[in-house]
Amino acid sequence: MQLCENLFFQKGFNFLLFTDTGQENRGGAFMAVEKTYEEINARIRKGEAVVVTAEEIIGIVEEKGVEKAVREVDVVTTGTFGTMCSSGVFLNFGHTKPRIKMNRVYLNGVPAYGGIAAVDAYLGATALPESDPENRVYPGRFLYGGGHVIEDLVAGKPVKLEATGYGTDCYPRRRIETWITLSDINDAILFNPRNAYQNYSVAVNLSNRTIYTYMGVLKPNLGNASFSTSGQLSPLLNDPYYKTIGVGTRIFLGGGIGYVAWHGTQHNPCVPRGENGVPLTGAGTLALIGDLKQMKPEWLRGTSFIGYGASLAVGVGIPIPILNEEILLYTAVKDEDLYAPIQDYSSDYPNREASNLGRVSYAELRSGKITVMGREVPTTPLSSYQKAREIAEILKGWIKSGSFLLTEPVQPLPSVDSRIALKGLEEKKNNG
């Protein structure tokens, strides 16, 4: 706990030295720029806002310098497009006649959770049909799961709904089998408990057999190294201390508009950070929410990881208001300055052991080759940099056109002073 706070002060101090925006300078020869959300939104409404992507801002700051860039740029847009397993959708199907209290619910054979009100259900991205052979024929292919149902719904395709109930006085019906489409049903609310991980491990395989993981296929004996991030374009890597991204932040979600609902599960801000404030391991996460009916199948795509399972690729883009020099400098972070830890997925990860294989920068990862244990290893990207760039561009377009206003968080996310420490789950023989 104490370590976490010390770290914060130490890094905060480094940051002041680094950016030269300390209090000493305020009110000196020039006034440090401080913009408000209202001022930026006023410019957006007038169609005058200067909006650039998190990739473009790097060159702008290098070329024009911090002082000029902070005056000129109003918003920096970020983006990421990759598989995010902790995703799913709340559905309300409407009431049957006579009524049913849906106890077991299936969509195209994929089970949804029916343990909420009568015709509500939650369909998770990794849910699999009961008929799926899973890994009984190893490695399983997982061709259709919850993520694919979500993609089909968003694409407007008819989806088969089967539900059973046990019958009550108020909900006498016991079975329904019908077809639904996204426009037929009352509600479809995408609610993803954990998306947009701030940094993530690079996965390698030190064993002598191919392994099949959620980080993709890992070839034996350090045959490849997989990673999943948009790096310098990634939302939380551009706002390392969550100074603008918080509860209520309006975002690009699945091709439509969504919001940050809360910090995501496993949100873990008190991890070691670099001098630029960016976590050196997995850290912050976001819980995201939005109306599925205005999203697009292009940005919500079912995925199949051989030997692992089915999931959903989610497109997320978050705008960062350039309120001051500090925020600007965070957004100017480059792949060269972002580091990820290398982790062995053949033994260390499954056994929850620490891996000590060093770190690599995202610039190296994106180049296609990294060095691990003195050996050159090809890299396997799992998240699309090109699509991340496209999301940042789309969001930029929305903001420039005046159709997308920024929201000030109603509550900040827990940060480095939160004293959060992630817990593992221990086996206990009794409840004492």
Partner 1 sequence: MIANKVVLRFASSLVGQPIIYHLVKEYDLVINILKADINPHQEGYVVLELSGDSENYNRGLKYLRDIGVEIEPLSGTIAWNRDRCLQCGACTSFCPVGALQLARPEMEVRFDESKCIVCKSCLDVCMARAVEVRF
Could you give the residue numbers annotated as active site? 170
Per DSSP bridges, beta strands 225-227 and 375-381 are parallel
| By the rule CB under 8 A, 173 interacts with partner 1 | no
Position 306 contacts partner 1 (CB under 8 A): yes
Query: What is the C-alpha separation between 411 and 429, in angstroms, rounded?
Result: 40
Segment lying near partner 1 (by CB under 8 A), choices 71-79, 167-175, 376-384, 407-415: 376-384
Task: Return the residue of 378, 401, 403, 417 that touches partner 1, per CB under 8 A.
Answer: 378
To 10 degrees, the CA torsion angle through 146, 152, 158, 161?
A: 10
CB closer to partner 1 out of 153 and 287: 153
Element (DSSP H or E) covering residue 12: helix 2-19
133 scored as a contact of partner 1 (CB under 8 A):
no
Sign of the alpha-carbon torsion through 212, 350, 388, 313: positive
Q: Which residues contact 28 (CB under 8 A, 6 or more apart)?
A: none
For partner 1, the closer CB: 156 or 368: 368
Is 232 a residue that touches partner 1 (CB under 8 A)? no
Contact assessment for residue 326 and residue 243, using Cβ atoms and an 8 Å cutoff: yes
The reply on whether position 101 binds partner 1 by CB under 8 A is no
Contact track, partner 1, 57-86, x by CB under 8 A: ------------------------xxx---
- 157 is a contact residue toward partner 1 (CB under 8 A): no
> Which of residues 144 and 259 has its CB atom nearest to partner 1 in the complex?
144
Q: Under the criterion CB under 8 A, does residue 380 sit at the interface with partner 1? A: yes
CB-side neighbour CA atoms (13 Å) of 62: 8
Closer by beta carbon to partner 1, 165 or else 255? 255
SS3 content of the chain, % helix, strand, coil (to 5): 25, 30, 50
Stretches 24-32, 37-45, 99-107, 303-311: which one binds partner 1 (CB under 8 A)?
A: 303-311
Q: Which is nearer to partner 1, 331 or 384 (CB)?
A: 384
Q: How many helices (H) and strands (E) does the chain have?
A: 8, 26
Q: Which residues bind partner 1 (CB under 8 A)?
A: 81-83, 139, 141, 143, 216-217, 224, 226, 301, 303-306, 311, 313, 366-368, 378-387, 389
